[in-house]
Structure 1
Amino acid sequence: MALNVPGLVVMAVFYLLVLGTGIWASMRSKKVEKKCSGDGMEITLLAGRNINLLVGIFTLTATWVGGGFILGIAEATYNPTLGAVWALMPVPYVLTFFLGGFFFAKPMRENQYMTMMDPFQRKYGNVLSSALIFPALVADVLWVARTLVSLGGTMSVILDLPYAYSIIISSVVAIVYTLLGGLYSVAYTDVIQLILIFVSLWVCVPFLLTNPHSVDISLTAYNETFQAPWVGTIEHNEAGKWFDDFMLLALGGLAYQAFYQRILSASSYTQAQVTCFASSAFCLVLGIPSVLVGAVAASTDWNSTSYGLPTPYERGQVGSILPVALQYLTPVYISVVGIGAVAAAVMSSMDSALLSSASLFSSNIYKNIIRKQASDYEMQWVIRISVVVVGLVGTGLTFLDNSVLVFWLVGVDMSYTIMFPQLVCILFFKVSNGYGASVGYIIGLVMRVLSGEPLIGLPPAIRFPGCRLDKEGKLTQFFPIRTTIMVMSLMSILLFSWLASLLFNKGLLSEKWDVFDINRKQKAAARAPIVKKANTREDPSVEKQLMDTTSC
């Protein structure tokens, strides 16, 4: 197969368009920074808390609709051991955005936090919050890796471009425009990228559905005579794992800094809510084309195509089924359009992960712990260096494993089992303190490691009910272990927080052992005057005042 020169030209034009948008956005960012009296760090990380509503919707949607989203859905739908019922991403994300809008947006936005970790740092102190930042940073690095893996595999199939070149070029472009303008560059390039994702995917769908090598997908949805039915089934003994995966995707996303970066950049709580609700609808619509791609691939007689036999599943190319289908079931110019969608999806998620991790390190570690007296100029350089480091580490990880779902699930897994219960407790339960958080963190981490993970070859030391070999011969937990561990961690935080508070308040333990100083903090909170908060949703004048203090 020769190098696809027209495809390379199209991709070069796309990258130049994205880079140009990023440069324009960086110029806008500098103008806002000169105009505003606020610090440059807030403008870089949160766009001055004055992001446009439509841009906010686009950037939140684009963050979740990444390469793993597009390729992962097609992969699950095509995989004869899974099927469309296991292509869970779009529906749980609707729940993510609705829960985020209804419950999490208000306490985060009204307290004017800079990052997701601010409430931890304010209540628990620097030592414990630093330990809690670690899984969040690891999840972001894995996010960068999985988005690049999806693009590298797609480019190598359609353009016949070496895997390493695809990864490095895309990584450099994303790092450069993220460096230039921070959230402004990320948000405005996301607008271009999301439009390209939507148009490109839906342009490819008619050509795939009408190609002469595939049977009507309505006939193969449940029919096992041709191949495994692409709709798939959920066996009774697999229901626990399906529920676990659903909850993982629905709640795990609520513990990502990238989500709160969009919430905190909104000019008001109401705008943050609207952003969440609108994005949920976009996620559903953008998930449909990938399901159709997987369905067409499962309904194709590959022996009648130039791909031949064995099938992509038998060759171990399930993770690359979307580019394979585009390459062999659509005209060349359409396959190039399809790769544009994947490239746009990858860039839109990668830049979010880069800025997310840079926010956590620069704000919560460097500014609050390492150098509290750091100037605004110094912080700008810390943010830039953080972006580059995370980008390089994530890029390096792509050469270790080329499965899209591995990095996807491991990253979200850490957010769900470790960070989500911590976030719920810090935001909604006043009883939570450093002692409970420490115990919950340890229990969540230890239990998750001991439960094993077949995706990374980690055997289970603890076997829950239903633990057995899966269809691929891997020892798998079919019990909802991650949800169980999440609940165990959450209950541990509350229980041990209450016990610690009781022991110190009753004098059963000396205050000199109170390393988290919870007794003094509780007394200080009790003496503090009660200030009635204005209802900004009902009082437009108050909301305007808040907007004036947080944006230009």
Structure 2
Amino acid sequence: MIIAGVALFVLALLMAGVYAARKVQGSSHNYLLAGRTLAVPVVAILLASQAIDSNGILGNTDLSAAFGFWAGAALPIGLALCLIIAGLFFAKPMREYRIVTLPDFFERRFGRSIEIPAAILTVLAFGILVAGNLVALGFLLDRFAGIPYTAAILIAIPIVICYTIAGGMFSSSYVGIGMIIVNIVGMLALFGWMITTYGLSAPAGLGPLDLSQLTSADEGAVINWATIVALALGNLVAIDLMQRIFASKCPRTAQKACFGGAALILAICIPFSLVALTAVTVLGDEVANGPVLYTLLSDYAPPVLAIIVLSGIVTASLTTASGVLLSCSAVITRNILQLGRTASLDTAHAMTATRIAMIPMALLGAFVALRIPQTGILLTLTFDLLLAGLVVPFILGLYWTSRGTISAAMAAIITGVTVRVGLFVLTPTIYGVDNTLLYLDNGLLTAAMDGWSTFLAAGASLAAYLVVALLTKPVAPVGAPPADAVVVTAPEPVGARV
């Protein structure tokens, strides 16, 4: 009953997404950026979906139940903090560039030699993020439909691809509006049901007032802070986040949407951390039987409540996965293959290539999902990698225009990624769970390095950029794009620049 109800609801929203595909009208400009017409509420919803999807919610609840409130809440706190930082310092200037993808900025600031590694790094990192949502969908089909996890992953892939191919950013926008409404209703209903049925409680040492989770390394403080920092800063160079900013009507709209998205994330996601703590007591030994939230909804909650909550989470996953596939395929075709880079995005060839590029991205996500069946861990790992490689050249490239060279940016990327991948391969755990993706057994590092790797890699990237920037001749500061560099032919909407 539950899976049938979720399927019917998601199908209804997907039909809305297909309906929205009519707005594309064969234009890549509309397909990738919704014609740069999205208003504050829509952009805020799309930005918030990153934390509300199954990757974020299941990661939040599982980590809260296993390691404490702050381990789970670190996910929404980090993502909300990122949107606040973006709203204060980055949304307006980045929207003013009128570019299409984040690697466009690196090309304009440092040239083609930095655009390529930036594009490759973001695509690889976001393959991990797609995997996180596929993991959650796989667990859902396994738990509620009895489909084995591996088969469930393979079933989820064409669903996500078809949804994204249909209408691009317009589809995400239409479905996102319904998604946020359902998630708010579901969160309130679940929170209310938990309080009236079981009350709110927390195992000793795991509650929100147990601040040792943020102060003691033995209680996971290093990992919790690393999670917050990786999400707060690494997400700044998230290509789906920036693409949604680029799709807003104007710079002020982008800025306001960031603040609205942060508020939505905290309001919807923090209660799930509290629900997870109470679920530990309610479920007992069943906590170990798959995702905590799925066990609670399948075995204890009323079916109608389970349908509402799961429908919202699954729809948010589709919205997030769609945004990731859309932005990654745009980067592949535009920044790596250089299709649609000239006077207009409105070419059938470029849009077809963008759609085709989604397939290998989805397959990459499936591979990682089968290797690491985790949720929140994959979310953090994505932005950890981006923090190590791209955050420093992005921030200093935008704001330290008097210095900075191609060599400095390349040094930051190579140094940060090398240090992070090296520590990743040599450390037996990833944010508290076993490293089953790529670990070389060694006597050099222990699990005590877990968490510190995030700070060390980011610090190495910053040091490399500063040293090389000070030793080399600076490039010309970034300015407004020249007229012949504007790749979008559609004008700004009337009254958009406020």
TM-score category (smaller protein) = 0.7 to 0.9
CA contact (8 A) 2:65 2:276 kept: yes
In 2: Cα distance, 1:278 partner to 1:434 partner: 35
Further displaced range: 481-490 or 259-268? 481-490
List aligned pairs for 1:414-493, cutoff 5 A.
414-430=385-401, 431-452=403-424, 453=427, 454-455=429-430, 456-457=435-436, 458=439, 475-477=447-449, 480-493=452-465
In 1: Cα distance, 2:262 partner to 2:410 partner: 34
Amino acid at match of 1:163: Y
CA contact (8 A) 1:358 1:383 kept: yes
CA contact (8 A) 2:339 2:350 kept: no
In 2: Cα distance, 1:479 partner to 1:367 partner: 37
State the TM-score, normalized to the length of structure 2: 0.86
CA contact (8 A) 1:49 1:550 kept: no
1:83 aligns with 2:74: no
Q: Which runs of 5+ in 2 are unaligned?
A: 483-490
* Equivalent residue number for residue 514 of structure 1: none
Q: Which runs of 5+ in 1 are unaligned?
A: 1-5, 34-39, 303-309, 469-474, 503-517, 532-544
Amino acid at match of 2:49: A
* Equivalent residue number for residue 216 of structure 2: 236
CA contact (8 A) 1:78 1:230 kept: no
In 1: Cα distance, 2:62 partner to 2:347 partner: 45
CA contact (8 A) 1:158 1:339 kept: no
> Which SS does the other structure have where 1:189 is aligned?
helix
Q: Which of 255, 262, 280 is residue 273 of structure 1 equivalent to? A: 255
In 2: Cα distance, 1:171 partner to 1:198 partner: 27
Residue by residue, what CA displacement relative to the aligned partner does 1:498-521 show, whole Å, maximum 9, x if unpaired?
Answer: 31217xxxxxxxxxxxxxxx5xxx
Relative to structure 1, the CA distance from residue 209 to residue 164 in structure 2 (aligned partners, 3 Å threshold; closer, same or farther) is farther
Amino acid at match of 1:286: I
* Equivalent residue number for residue 538 of structure 1: none
Deviation at 1:495, TM superposition (A): 2.2
Residue by residue, what CA displacement relative to the aligned partner does 1:219-265 show, whole Å, maximum 9, x if unpaired?
Answer: xx3647xxx66865425335433322221111111110111111111
Amino acid at match of 1:90: P
Amino acid at match of 2:16: T
Deviation at 1:274, TM superposition (A): 0.8
> Which SS does the other structure have where 1:117 is aligned?
helix
Deviation at 1:273, TM superposition (A): 0.7
CA contact (8 A) 1:362 1:382 kept: yes
Amino acid at match of 2:371: L
In 2: Cα distance, 1:372 partner to 1:277 partner: 33
In 2: Cα distance, 1:264 partner to 1:119 partner: 12
Further displaced range: 87-96 or 135-144? 87-96
Deviation at 1:16, TM superposition (A): 1.9
Q: Which of 121, 126, 130 is residue 135 of structure 1 equivalent to? A: 121
Relative to structure 1, the CA distance from residue 337 to residue 161 in structure 2 (aligned partners, 3 Å threshold; closer, same or farther) is farther
* Equivalent residue number for residue 299 of structure 1: 281
List aligned pairs for 1:397-408, cutoff 5 A.
397-408=368-379
CA contact (8 A) 1:94 1:281 kept: yes
Whose Rg is larger?
Answer: 1
* Equivalent residue number for residue 27 of structure 1: 22
Q: Which of 239, 258, 263 is residue 240 of structure 2 equivalent to? A: 258
Amino acid at match of 2:17: G
In 2: Cα distance, 1:354 partner to 1:248 partner: 21
Amino acid at match of 1:16: L
1:16 aligns with 2:11: yes
* Equivalent residue number for residue 513 of structure 1: none
> Which SS does the other structure have where 2:287 is aligned?
coil
Deviation at 1:111, TM superposition (A): 1.5
1:153 aligns with 2:139: yes
List aligned pairs for 1:56-95, cutoff 5 A.
56-79=43-66, 82-87=67-72, 88-95=74-81
In 2: Cα distance, 1:169 partner to 1:396 partner: 13
* Equivalent residue number for residue 469 of structure 2: 497
In 1: Cα distance, 2:394 partner to 2:76 partner: 23
1:48 aligns with 2:35: yes
> Which SS does the other structure have where 2:102 is aligned?
coil
1:246 aligns with 2:198: no
In 1: Cα distance, 2:318 partner to 2:121 partner: 23
Structure with higher RCO (Cα < 8 A, 6+ apart):
2
In 2: Cα distance, 1:442 partner to 1:97 partner: 27
List aligned pairs for 1:205-220, cutoff 5 A.
205-211=191-197, 216-218=199-201
Residue by residue, what CA displacement relative to the aligned partner does 1:2-36 show, whole Å, maximum 9, x if unpaired?
Answer: xxxx2232123123212211111111221xx6xxx
Residue by residue, what CA displacement relative to the aligned partner does 1:410-439 show, whole Å, maximum 9, x if unpaired?
Answer: 212111111211211221122111111111
CA contact (8 A) 2:10 2:311 kept: no
CA contact (8 A) 1:105 1:263 kept: yes
Relative to structure 1, the CA distance from residue 489 to residue 294 in structure 2 (aligned partners, 3 Å threshold; closer, same or farther) is same
Structure 1 stretches of 4+ moved >4 Å: 228-232, 368-375, 459-463, 528-531, 545-551
* Equivalent residue number for residue 288 of structure 1: 270
Relative to structure 1, the CA distance from residue 271 to residue 462 in structure 2 (aligned partners, 3 Å threshold; closer, same or farther) is farther
Residue by residue, what CA displacement relative to the aligned partner does 1:383-414 show, whole Å, maximum 9, x if unpaired?
Answer: 11012331233234322231213322221211
In 1: Cα distance, 2:135 partner to 2:303 partner: 23
In 1: Cα distance, 2:494 partner to 2:130 partner: 35
In 1: Cα distance, 2:420 partner to 2:326 partner: 28
> Which SS does the other structure have where 2:85 is aligned?
helix
Amino acid at match of 1:150: A
> Which SS does the other structure have where 1:112 is aligned?
coil
C-alpha RMSD of matched pairs (Å): 3.1
In 2: Cα distance, 1:58 partner to 1:101 partner: 15
In 2: Cα distance, 1:385 partner to 1:343 partner: 24
